[in-house]
């Protein structure tokens, strides 16, 4: 079943057009050709538990729940979609759905994509920054955030470099979500 036809996801089907426009604008400013990279997943953000639960119920109708867990004080579900999400020329088959946490986002809907840059975790930031235009990184509205999120049981280090213009975010990781989940199941 195609996710666009699910009533619980109607607001997301409408929001994908705006998300695509914002993502295209940011990637263009950064000099980043998204089709040159492996887009691992697309992520949502919302402000109310009821919205997250509605999306969860809708995503279960058109995807397989790969994992649910508690991370940084909030529930997160990962879905592998039967029909990939189309964002321009991109086809993304994995969705990250976190419930609301301490940080309140200004928008309910699509928030970021994550790109896998295979290689040593300790050089992720340098490899990601080398792909981006220096002029864009110097812009006042572009911000960078380095972090090293890790869920209980994860055995692969998967640091993050996030680049945002405050409306949409592009994140870089050395490993895919499937590899991270697989490392938990295999013990390493």
Q: What does the pLDDT read at residue 144? A: 96
What dihedral angle (degrees, nearest 10) is formed by the CA atoms of 118, 77, 93, 89? -80
Query: What is the dotted CATH code of the domain comprising 3-186?
Result: 3.10.180.10
Percent of the chain past pLDDT 90, that is, above it, reads 79
Count Cα neighbours of 106 within 13 Å in the Cβ-side half-sphere. Answer: 3
Ranges in the chain, pLDDT < 70: 149-155, 185-188
For 97-114, what is each residue's pLDDT tens digit? Answer: 999 988 777 789 999 999
pLDDT at 153: 54
Residue 54: per-residue pLDDT:
98
CA-only gyration radius of the chain, Å: 16
């Amino acid at each position: 079943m195609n996710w666009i036809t699910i009533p619980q996801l109607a607001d997301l089907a409408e929001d994908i057009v705006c998300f695509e426009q914002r993502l295209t604008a940011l990637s263009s400013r950064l000099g980043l050709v998204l089709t040159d990279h492996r887009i691992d997943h697309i992520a949502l953000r919302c402000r109310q538990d009821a919205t997250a639960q509605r999306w969860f119920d809708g995503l279960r109708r058109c995807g397989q729940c790969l994992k649910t867990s508690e991370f940084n004080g909030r529930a997160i579900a990962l879905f592998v979609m039967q029909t990939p999400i189309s964002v321009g020329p991109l086809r993304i088959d994995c969705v990250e759905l976190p419930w609301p946490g301490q940080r309140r986002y200004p928008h309910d809907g699509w928030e970021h994509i994550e790109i896998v840059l295979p290689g040593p975790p300790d050089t992720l930031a340098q490899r990601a920054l080398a792909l981006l235009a220096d002029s864009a990184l110097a812009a006042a509205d572009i911000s960078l955030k380095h972090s090293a999120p890790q869920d209980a049981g994860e055995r692969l280090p998967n640091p993050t470099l996030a680049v945002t213009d405050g409306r949409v975010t592009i994140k870089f990781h050395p490993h895919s979500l499937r590899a991270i989940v697989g490392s938990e199941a295999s013990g390493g």
